[in-house]
Amino acid sequence: MRTMLVAGLAALLAGPACAQQPAPVRNDLQRHDLSIAGWETVQTRVDFAPGAVAPPHKHPGEEIIYVLKGTLEYTVAGKALQTLKAGEVLFIPYGTVHSARNTGSETASELATYVVEKGKPLVVPAK
């Protein structure tokens, strides 16, 4: 398991306006090939400090989100703004641009499970 701080990526993707906002911290929990050739599942815990933002991005597959603690606000292309609290879930379809931010005053966390095409970058910046 490895922990990956995405502050540099967040600044790069979001540009100067968001460079001072804290970035989420990702901890990859597990990664496994699926029985469908060319596909894998990746499970990650993502911790958001107060004000942390995951800038607009997409994935080469589906993302299933379960909020573990705190309050997170999700912007998903084609949908109304969604605010989720601990115990609530969200499904992000393949290739859908989305972003997330912690709107609370304490750390918020999500369990993100991805079903994605193997060999492609897990996170792709939105253009």
Tens digits of residue pLDDT in 12-66: 444 454 457 789 999 999 999 999 999 999 999 999 999 999 999 999 999 999 9
The stretch 113-119 carries a mean pLDDT of 97
| Confidence at residue 52, expressed as pLDDT on a 0 to 100 scale | 97
| Confidence at residue 91, expressed as pLDDT on a 0 to 100 scale | 98
Amino acid letter at 107?
T
Count of the separate structural domains present in the chain:
1
Is the pLDDT at 111 greater than 50, yes or no? yes
Eight-class DSSP state of 127: -
Residue 31 sits in a domain whose CATH number is 2.60.120.10
Cβ(69)–Cβ(107) below 8 Å: yes
| Confidence at residue 127, expressed as pLDDT on a 0 to 100 scale | 79
Structural domain of 91: 2-125
| Confidence at residue 19, expressed as pLDDT on a 0 to 100 scale | 54
- The SS3 call for residue 31 is strand
Report how far Cα 30 is from the mean position of its chain's Cα atoms: 15
Give the whole-number percent of the chain exceeding pLDDT 90: 82
List phi, psi (to 5°) of 41: -120, 140
